[in-house]
Amino acid sequence: MPRSSQNLPECWDTYKPHKGDGEPPAPDVDTFEWTQHPGHGPADDFLGGPRTALELGSAEGREAVFLARKGVDVTALDFSSAQVERARRWWGGVDHLRFVHAEACDFLASTDATYDTVFSIWGAVWFTDPGNLIPLVAKRLNPGGVFAFSQAEPIEGYYGPQAMYGNGLSGRKLTVLRWNYAPETWADILKRDGFTDVDAQVLAAPDPADVGTLLVRAVYPLGESPEE
């Protein structure tokens, strides 16, 4: 059946739909994955050992649960009410974890909380204008905090906001934007907003002929106060 989402939250409600009958089972949580290739790439140590973390675009909540089970206080945010409700059903008994239904920029602009790390795995960073998002992330990081994200590697020569049909080619028209840049451009964007120690790279897939993963990690400097 063609998809008929009329807005972006509805579009994300149908992300990773369950294809079986009844309530979908909770996914296994035994690894922390940054890439689309299981077991490939860094693990949670890419975040630097935080005590508090904010995930932007948590969907199923796998990585948020992984961190919470290690004692990290995690806030897992998603734009989709359906994703948040499902995650709460699955993981409501996990300590150190809360799921929040909100748009990333709205949440970052309204909260007073700060975090040791803010991260996004194929999530909100990919689908939000970095000119709006990254300054807000900086304000919510503790000094020395880590901002890290992953998404598909960009197609060479096709950079900036890229439009796609959110409901596919047979569904209702709905425009979804993804922001794709070369690693060096992401580094420039982050440095412009005060980040240092930027590591932006494309991690090749296990088979180099397959699509790789853009991995970015940056630090907000010690002694800096973005609220000033």
Q: Report residue 92 as tokens.
A: 């409501």
User: What's the pLDDT band for 11 if we cut at 50, 70, 90?
Assistant: low
Q: What pLDDT is recorded for position 36? A: 96
Q: Report residue 192 as tokens.
A: 């412009």
Domains in the chain (CATH in brackets) are 31-219 (3.40.50.150)
Separation in Å, CA 84 to CA 23, 63, 76: 15, 14, 9
Q: Tell me if the pTM is above 0.85.
A: yes
Q: Report residue 43 as tokens.
A: 């693990």
Q: Report residue 204 as tokens.
A: 């090749």
The pLDDT of residue 13 is above 70: no
- Residue type at position 144: G
Task: Round to whole Å and give the CA distance between 199 and 71.
Answer: 26
What is the phi/psi pair of residue 98, to 5°? -140, 145
Q: What pLDDT is recorded for position 174? A: 80
Q: What pLDDT is recorded for position 14? A: 67
DSSP H helical ranges for 75-182: 81-91, 104-110, 130-140
Q: What pLDDT is recorded for position 176? A: 87
The pLDDT of residue 57 is above 80: yes
Tens of pLDDT along 115-151?
A: 999 999 999 999 999 999 999 999 999 999 999 999 9
The pLDDT of residue 21 is above 80: no
Evaluate whether 142 touches 113 at the Cβ level (below 8 Å): no
Average pLDDT over residues 83-92: 95
With tokens 């993804």, the residue in question is: 178
User: What's the pLDDT band for 24 if we cut at 50, 70, 90?
Assistant: confident
Please give the radius of gyration of the chain, using alpha carbons only, rounded to the nearest integer: 17
Q: Report residue 37 as tokens.
A: 């290739």
Separation in Å, CA 146 to CA 4, 27, 46, 220: 38, 27, 9, 6
Task: Round to whole Å and give the CA distance between 223 and 228.
Answer: 12
Helix-strand-coil split of the chain, %, nearest 5:
25, 25, 50
Average pLDDT over residues 40-52: 97
Separation in Å, CA 4 to CA 16, 44, 72, 166: 16, 36, 38, 9
Average pLDDT over residues 78-107: 96
Give the mean pLDDT of the chain: 91
